[in-house]
Chain A
Amino acid sequence: MSLLTINGLEKTFKHGSTEEKILKGIDLDLSKGDMTALVGASGSGKSTLLTIAAGLQEATGGEIIFDSENLTALDDEQVREIRAKRFGFVFQQAHLVPFLTVQEQLELMLDTAELKWSKEERRQEIEDILEKVEMQHHRDSYPDSLSGGEKQRVAIARAVIHQPEILFADEPTASLDSKRSKEVMRLLTSLTKESSITVLMVTHDESALEYADYTVQMKDGLIEYPG
C-alpha cells in the first residue's frame, strides 16, 4: 500500500539570471513499512528530493501525495504540523539542541508532536527508547559530552519516539566510522521495522544498502531505471 507518492516532481534553483534544474520530473512510490535508499553521485538531486518530500523545501513543479493529502498544496503551517506529528528526521549531523539533555530532547519531540499521552505513557516511552538506543545512562547528558555515535543514536531516538509514519534520513552514517555506521543502521532498521515506519534514506554508504528494501539510483535529476 502506497503511503507517499511523488508525481512529476521538479525543482529549479535560480542563481542570479541563470537557472539550474535539479529535479527533472521524479515519480516515486513509498509503501508502508519499506525502507527505500536513494543513491547517486553528488549533485544527482537525491538530497533535494528527500528534503522536498519531507516538506523542508518547496517544489517547483509536480505533487507529493502523503496519505491522500497533496503536500504541495498545503500552507506552511499545515506542512509544519505534518512534519511535527507524522514525520521523523535523521540528518548527517545529529543536530541535537545544545542546551537540552538527552531526555529533554525526547520530551521536546513529544511536546512538538502534541501527543495525548499520559505522564506515565510518556515516561515509559522515553525509558523504552533510551533502552533500545542504549542511552539510558546518558539521559542527563548534554550533546557536547557525547561521542558522534552516541549523538546519532539520540537523533534516531528523537526521530522515532513520536511514532512517525515516515522517517527521512539524509546520509545518517556519513559522519561515522564503519563500525558505528553499522550500529546506527541496525538500530535504525530495527526501530523502524518494529513500528512499520516507512523510511526514505539518502546514502553514499554502500554497506547501508543491505538494510534497504529498495534502492533507487538517481542521475542528473532523474531516477535511473536498470536496463
Chain B
Amino acid sequence: MKMAWQEIMKSKTRYLILGAIIFLISLLTMIISGLANGLSYDNASLIKELPAGTFYMEEEAEGQYNFSSLDGETMEEVETVSSEVMFLSIQMGEIEDADEKRHSVAFVSTANNDYFPSIETGGLVLDASIMEEGITAGDGVTNGMLDHSLTVDEFVEHQKFSHAPVAFINHDDFQRMYSTDDFQLAFIPGDEAPHMDGYNQFTNDEFLDTLPSYSAEQLSLNMIVVFLFVISGMLFGIFFYMINVQKIATYGILKAVGVKTSKLFKMMWVQMFIITVIALLLSVAISQLVGIVMPEGMPFLLTIDSASMMSLVFLVIGFIGSTASGIQISKVEPMQAINQGGI
C-alpha cells in the first residue's frame, strides 16, 4: 500500500494522465447512461411509476397492446383471479386548446384503478410537462372525435408515454372517441401472476420491450453504454500494460532481491484502486451536477444507486484490465532487469 502510494507520488504526471482518462471515460459513460435512463423514463414513466406486476394482453395481439382487446366477460374472469387487477387502455392522440393549437398526448383510460387519478366524465388530468405548452388548469380542450370539450382538472407529475404527456380520461369519453368498450390491458400488481388461457403475460420491463420505439431507443443507447464499458476495460489494460512495460527493470530487481510477485500485483491493484476511486468520485459528482443543470427538454436521470453500480462495474473492469496486463509481472525474470541496466 505504502509503496503503491509512493510510486504515485513520484510519478504524478503518469498517474494523473491515467486518472484523467478513467475520469473522462467514466463521466462520458455516466452521462450517456443518464441520458438513456432519462429518455427511457420520458418514454414510459406511466409504466415505470407502476409497482412491479404483470400485464396481460390478448394472445392474438402478438405483443402489440393496441391490437389487444379484453371484453366484459374476460374482465370478469380476470377479476375472479385477482381482486387487485386494474384495466387500462392507451391511445396516442391529440387535444386542441382554445387557440386551436394542437398538442400530442397519450390518452389513458382505466378501471379498478388504484394508481392513477379518477376522472369524471368531461374531465381531463394531464402530465405537468404540458404546462410548458401554455395549458393551465380549468382550460377547455377539444378533440375531433368528441362532440363536447374536456376540462383540464389538474396536472400530475411524471406521467408520460411514448415521449408524450399522458392525458387521463374518463372511460365513457374514451369509449366515444375510439368506439370501443373494451380495455386493452389488465395489470395485476405484485408477484402473483396467474396463468390465463388465451393471454400473454408480461412483467413491467417485458411490457416496455413490446413498445417498438422504446426497445429500439434503449437498445441503441445501451449498446453505446456497453461499448463504453468495453473500451474503458481495454484502456485500463493498455495503460497498465504500458506502465508495467516501463517498470519491467524495477520489477525484475525487486524480484531479484526477493520481493514476492504477489506483493507486486497488490501494489498494482492498490494503484488501480486509488486512481479509479478518485476518478469515479469526480465522475459521479460531475454527472450529478450535469443532471441538475441539464435543460428540461433533455431528459436526464442518473440516480446515486445507478451511478454507484456503474462505479462498481468500472472497478471490476479496472481490476480485470490491470490484472490481465499485469500477467507480464509474473513473467519478468530478475536477469532481464540486471542485464538491462538501470538507476
Q: Which residues of A contact B (CB under 8 A)?
A: 51, 56-57, 80-81, 83-85, 87, 89, 91-100, 104, 108-109, 112-113, 142-144, 151, 158, 170
Contacts and interface: CB of A to CB of B under 8 A. Distances in A.
Given A94-B343, A96-B343, A112 B259 contact: yes
Contacts of B335: 51, 56-57
12 contacts: A56-B335, A57-B335, A80-B255, A80-B260, A83-B258, A84-B257, A84-B259, A87-B258, A93-B341, A94-B343, A99-B9, A112-B257
Contacts of A99: 3, 6-7, 9-11
Interface of B: 3, 6-7, 9-11, 249-250, 253-260, 334-335, 337-338, 341-343
B253 A83 contact: no
For chain A, what secondary structure do more than half of its interface residues adopt (helix, strand, loop), or is it mixed? mixed
Nearest to A158: B257
B338 A56 contact: yes
A95 B343 contact: yes
A104 B4 CA distance: 12
A200 B257 CA distance: 16
A96 B11 CA distance: 16
A113 B258 CA distance: 8
B254 A97 contact: yes
Nearest to A95: B253
A99 B10 CA distance: 6
Contacts of B10: 98-99, 142
Nearest to B252: A95
Given A56-B256, A97-B253, A170 B343 contact: no
* Chain B interface mostly: helix
Contacts, number: 67
B8 to A, nearest CB: 9
A81 B258 contact: yes
Contact of B257 (A51, A89, A143): A89
Given A81-B258, A170-B338, A143 B343 contact: yes
A177 B62 CA distance: 89
A108 B343 contact: no
A150 to B, nearest CB: 12
A108 B9 CA distance: 17
Nearest to B250: A97
A103 to B, nearest CB: 11
A93 B6 contact: no
Q: Which of A83, A84, A97 has the most CB of B within 10 A?
A: A97
B258 A100 contact: no
A91 to B, nearest CB: 6
B342 A93 contact: yes
A104 B258 contact: no
Contacts of A51: 335, 338
Contacts of B259: 84, 108, 112
Contacts of A85: 258
Contact of B258 (A80, A95, A96): A80
Nearest to B261: A80
A96 B337 CA distance: 11
A51 B250 CA distance: 18
Given A94-B343, A142-B10, A112 B338 contact: no
A108 B3 contact: yes
Nearest to B341: A93
Contacts of B7: 99
A18 B77 CA distance: 87
Return the 7 tightest CB-CB contacts between A and B, nearest first.
Answer: A84-B258, A99-B10, A99-B7, A83-B258, A95-B253, A143-B343, A95-B342
Which of A93, A142, A170 has the most B CB atoms < 10 Å from its CB? Answer: A93
A94 B342 CA distance: 7
A44 B338 CA distance: 18
Nearest to A76: B261
A33 B7 CA distance: 37
Contact of A56 (B9, B260, B334): B334
B171 to A, nearest CB: 74
A100 B257 contact: no
A93 B258 contact: no
Contacts of B255: 80
Nearest to A168: B256
Nearest to B9: A99
A85 B260 CA distance: 12
Contacts of B342: 93-96
B257 A109 contact: yes
A151 B258 contact: no
B261 to A, nearest CB: 8
B343 A144 contact: yes
A155 to B, nearest CB: 10
Contacts of B343: 93-96, 98, 143-144, 151
A47 B245 CA distance: 26
Given A99-B10, A143-B343, 10 more contacts: A56-B256, A80-B258, A81-B258, A93-B341, A95-B249, A97-B254, A104-B3, A112-B257, A151-B343, A170-B338
A89 B342 CA distance: 15
